[in-house]
């Protein structure tokens, strides 16, 4: 009989054989001969090794062994069943989680060995079946069904349960073979329903649209579900929210199948209200032919996407502006779209704010963006409309973020407020236009805004402390030095003092009158699922936004609009009076855009702010 010390050492060696990796994370290989010899000689698992009774200890080791076999099948050379039998013979219990872990994307040997050793397979085998279905392992599905697992078993309990079919449709790893697997389940008797408590198959389709399946695979399943229910059950109750769910955050190459999905559901009878499927179709890059069809079918040209929509809340015009689609913007304006529909929801934006936030990648996109901005202004867009309460920006703040000087100059020309405060939330977002430009290291943009009397939102002792800090936090030291120099010159030269320094700092509270009204009419869907999916299975439903909406009732200054130049060649900024910035049109092409740092006069009676610009605005064309 071995001494206690030797016995303890042998117990540790036995336990070590079931550890998947060593302390460095390197995979280990179980020494099957050593395990067999130790167990045969009477060595048991140390009582202190695992905080379970003897049976549970061995079951835990069985679970580790199953995972090890799955991860390193090449190390077992057909001896895995012998290792499993050793543990089962010594009291290991095969539970539902061990059986689930035995399911892999290929092969069924491990699963077949364990099935006879689990009690009440019809109940406890459902987790293994769900995994086999989600991995599209049809052979494993067949084995489990033939062994007696209930094909219509559900995961979860009570009102928070879902069918195995629903779970499979939500998975992000749904591949092309999934349609074959799900068709097989239906042939074997699977009922097309979300759960017993929610038998409407339309919920299953909604669930699929809200899931993580790749669009091409999801489209295959949508067509199958529509066809199957129309032939063997009552037709699906399609809803407008299903059309909105066709838009998810995917790469551009995923847009074509999502457009096809949208049009298919619309042709099958999905309504265009409530919400704004029209805005979603525009965000998907859809063509104007279907846009006109949707409008003729009753789509509300000014309605927002619903709060439970996967994309940010927007009207059709805001959606078109956000993707710089000039053709659609002009079409919607012609049809009477509200150019000043307020920014709603997180990251919401007015149409003008949306296009100002757009980042052009080509010269053509830059020119198109300017034309869209001009068109919106010509139709009365409020330059200084309130940002969305949560993570919103004004038009000027958005343009300052993108760093496009031409856009900022155009906005300033029409009276953009360089010192508009940031939105309310997040609470720590304390950046206005100047702070944003400073953080992004845009020396030219910072100089332009300084000459428009912009201050930092966090003024400090100089009026610019927040912008200086923002620049230095991101190592833009030249920008920080420029702002310091501007502050010092303004302090030493009374003529250059920023008049807004004499006014109290501005806060988001000034937007409250525009955020005051709330419209809940677009919310919800008769097919919304009532709970979050179990995190244990990697399923999470989207969070609904609960935010107050903004309402913008400011009018465009008609006199300023009528005085705007139709076409400008070279432009430069002129300071007429405190806080007023203008642009001179038809200036000589060789007129300097930059002036000295001491603010010298370029012409009699005209006081120019010091400004240095590498970029010269050469053309601004208004669009009818």
- CATH, residue 349: 1.25.40.20
Query: Residue 558 has what pLDDT?
Result: 40
Residue 523 lies in a domain: no
Query: Residue 176 has what pLDDT?
Result: 54
The predicted-structure confidence for 491-517, as pLDDT tens digits, reads as follows: 887 766 788 888 888 887 777 767 765
222 plus 189 within the same structural domain? no
Q: How confident is the model at residue 19 (pLDDT cuts 50, 70, 90)?
A: low
For residue 605, count other CB atoms closer than 10 A to its CB: 5
74 plus 168 within the same structural domain? yes
Secondary structure of 140-161 as H, E, C letters: HHHHHHHCCCCCCCEEEECCEE
Q: What average pLDDT score do residues 297-326 get?
A: 90
Q: What is the DSSP letter of 307?
A: T
171 plus 225 within the same structural domain? no
Residues making up the chain, counted from first to last: 624
Helix (H, G, I), strand (E, B) or coil at 310: coil
Residue 440 lies in a domain: yes
Helix-helix angle 126-134:178-187, to 10 degrees: 140
331 plus 344 within the same structural domain? yes
- Taking CA 455 as the corner, what is the angle to CA 451 and CA 457, rounded to the nearest 5 degrees? 155
Q: What average pLDDT score do residues 589-614 get?
A: 34
Lowest mean pLDDT among 31-40, 49-58, 475-484, 581-590: 581-590
Lowest mean pLDDT among 416-420, 436-440, 441-445, 546-550: 546-550
Helix-helix angle 215-232:201-210, to 10 degrees: 180
Q: What is the mean pLDDT of the chain?
A: 75
Q: How confident is the model at residue 180 (pLDDT cuts 50, 70, 90)?
A: confident
As a whole number of angstroms, the distance between CA 448 and CA 482 comes to: 12
Residue 148 lies in a domain: yes
Helix (H, G, I), strand (E, B) or coil at 387: coil
DSSP-H helix ranges across 32-177? 32-40, 54-71, 80-89, 96-101, 109-114, 121-124, 126-134, 138-146, 164-170
Helix (H, G, I), strand (E, B) or coil at 73: helix
Considering only CA atoms, which of 542, 548, 480, 435 is closest in space to residue 206? 542
219 plus 109 within the same structural domain? no
Output the six-digit token pair for 340: 């000043």
Q: Considering 515, 542, 572, which residue would you say is the last residue of a domain?
A: 515
Q: Is 379 a residue whose pLDDT tops 60?
A: yes
Q: Considering 515, 547, 582, which residue would you say is the last residue of a domain?
A: 515
Q: What average pLDDT score do residues 540-558 get?
A: 29
Q: Considering 466, 495, 515, which residue would you say is the last residue of a domain?
A: 515
The predicted-structure confidence for 241-283, as pLDDT tens digits, reads as follows: 999 988 875 555 588 989 999 999 999 999 999 989 999 999 9
Q: How confident is the model at residue 79 (pLDDT cuts 50, 70, 90)?
A: low
Domain count, the chain: 2
Q: Is 431 a residue whose pLDDT tops 90?
A: no
Residue 563 lies in a domain: no
Q: How confident is the model at residue 237 (pLDDT cuts 50, 70, 90)?
A: confident
Bond prior to 426 in cis (omega within 30° of 0):
yes
140 plus 207 within the same structural domain? no
As a whole number of angstroms, the distance between CA 303 and CA 496 comes to: 47
Residue 624 lies in a domain: no
Output the six-digit token pair for 253: 């190459």
In a 10 Å sphere around its CB, with 0-12 CB exposed, 13-18 middle and 19+ buried, how is residue 419 labelled? buried
Q: Which residue has the higher pLDDT, 235 or 171?
A: 235
Residue 387 lies in a domain: yes
206 plus 113 within the same structural domain? no
The predicted-structure confidence for 518-532, as pLDDT tens digits, reads as follows: 443 344 444 444 433
Lowest mean pLDDT among 11-15, 89-93, 388-392, 524-528: 524-528
| Percent of the chain clearing pLDDT 90 (strictly above) | 35
349 plus 429 within the same structural domain? yes
Residue 529 lies in a domain: no
Q: Is 542 a residue whose pLDDT tops 50?
A: no
Handedness of CA 471, 477, 483, 484 (dihedral sign): positive
pTM score, whole prediction = 0.70
Query: Residue 282 has what pLDDT?
Result: 96
As a whole number of angstroms, the distance between CA 149 and CA 115 comes to: 11
| Contact between 196 and 161 (Cβ < 8 Å) | yes
Residue 549 lies in a domain: no
The backbone region for 101, taken as left when phi is positive above 0, alpha when psi lies in -120 to 50, beta otherwise, is alpha
141 plus 280 within the same structural domain? no
Q: What average pLDDT score do residues 213-237 get?
A: 80
Lowest mean pLDDT among 3-17, 234-248, 409-423, 464-478: 3-17
> How far apart, in Å, are the Cα atoms of 448 and each of 265, 392, 576?
49, 22, 16
Q: Residue 213 sits in which domain range?
A: 202-515
Q: Is 302 a residue whose pLDDT tops 60?
A: yes
417 plus 337 within the same structural domain? yes
Query: Residue 356 has what pLDDT?
Result: 96
Report which listed range, 160-169, 458-467, 521-530, is most confident: 458-467
188 plus 220 within the same structural domain? no
223 plus 178 within the same structural domain? no
| Contact between 328 and 292 (Cβ < 8 Å) | no
Q: Is 620 a residue whose pLDDT tops 90?
A: no
What's the CA dihedral at 281, 283, 286, 287 to 10 degrees? Answer: 110
Considering only CA atoms, which of 276, 224, 274, 226 is closest in space to residue 246? 276
């Amino acid at each position: 009989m071995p001494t206690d010390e030797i016995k303890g050492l042998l117990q540790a060696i036995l336990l070590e054989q079931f550890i998947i990796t060593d302390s460095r994370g390197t995979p280990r290989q179980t020494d099957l001969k050593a395990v067999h010899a130790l167990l045969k000689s009477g060595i048991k698992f140390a009582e202190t090794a695992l905080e379970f009774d003897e049976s549970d200890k061995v079951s835990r080791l069985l679970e580790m062994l199953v995972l090890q076999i799955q991860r390193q099948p090449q190390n077992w050379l057909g001896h895995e069943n012998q290792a499993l039998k050793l543990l089962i013979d010594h009291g290991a219990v095969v539970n539902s989680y061990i059986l689930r872990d035995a399911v892999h994307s290929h092969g069924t040997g491990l699963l077949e060995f364990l099935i006879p050793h689990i009690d009440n397979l019809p109940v406890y085998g459902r987790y293994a079946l769900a995994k086999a279905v989600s991995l599209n392992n049809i052979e494993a599905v067949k084995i489990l069904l033939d062994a007696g697992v209930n094909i219509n078993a559900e995961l979860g309990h009570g009102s928070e349960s879902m069918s195995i079919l629903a779970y499979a449709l939500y998975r992000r790893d749904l591949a092309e073979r999934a349609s074959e697997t799900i068709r097989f389940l239906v042939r074997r008797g699977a009922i097309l329903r979300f759960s017993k408590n929610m038998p409407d198959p339309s919920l299953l389709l909604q669930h699929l649209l809200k899931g993580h399946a790749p669009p091409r695979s999801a489209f295959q399943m949508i067509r199958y579900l529509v066809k199957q229910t129309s032939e063997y059950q009552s037709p699906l109750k399609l809803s407008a929210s299903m059309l909105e769910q066709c838009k998810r955050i995917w790469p551009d190459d995923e847009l074509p199948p999502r457009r096809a999905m949208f049009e298919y559901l619309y042709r099958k009878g999905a309504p265009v209200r409530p919400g704004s499927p029209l805005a979603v179709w525009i965000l998907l890059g859809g063509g104007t032919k279907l846009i006109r069809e949707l409008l003729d079918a009753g789509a509300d040209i000014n309605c927002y996407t619903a709060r439970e929509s996967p994309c940010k809340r927007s009207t059709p015009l805001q959606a078109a502006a956000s993707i710089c689609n000039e053709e659609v913007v002009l079409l919607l304006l012609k049809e009477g779209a509200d150019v000043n529909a307020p920014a709603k929801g997180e990251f919401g934006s007015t149409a003008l704010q949306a296009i100002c936030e757009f980042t052009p990648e080509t010269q053509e996109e830059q020119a198109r963006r300017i034309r869209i901005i001009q068109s919106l202004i010509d139709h009365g867009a409020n330059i200084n409309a309130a940002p969305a309460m949560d993570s919103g920006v004004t038009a000027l703040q958005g343009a300052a973020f993108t760093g496009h000087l031409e856009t900022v100059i155009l906005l300033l020309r029409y009276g953009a407020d360089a010192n508009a405060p940031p939105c309310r939330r997040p609470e720590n977002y304390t950046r206005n236009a100047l702070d944003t430009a400073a953080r992004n290291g845009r020396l030219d943009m910072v100089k332009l805004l300084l000459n428009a009397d912009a201050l930092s939102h966090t003024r400090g002792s100089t009026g610019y402390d927040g912008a200086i800090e923002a620049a230095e936090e991101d190592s833009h030291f030249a920008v920080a030095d420029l702002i310091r120099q501007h502050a010092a010159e303004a302090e030493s030269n009374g003529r250059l003092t920023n008049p807004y320094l004499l006014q109290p700092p501005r806060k988001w509270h000034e937007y409250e009158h525009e955020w005051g009204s709330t419209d809940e009419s677009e919310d919800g869907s008769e097919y919304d699922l009532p709970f979050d999916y179990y995190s244990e299975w990697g399923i999470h439903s989207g969070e609904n936004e609960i935010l107050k909406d903004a309402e913008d009732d400011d009018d465009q200054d008609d006199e300023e609009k009528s005085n705007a130049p139709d076409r400008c060649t070279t432009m430069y900024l002129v300071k007429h009076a405190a806080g007023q910035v203008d642009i001179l049109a038809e200036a000589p092409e060789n007129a300097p855009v930059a002036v000295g740092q001491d603010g010298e006069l370029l012409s009699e009676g005209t006081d120019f702010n010091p400004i240095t610009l590498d970029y010269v605005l050469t053309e601004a064309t208004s669009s009818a």
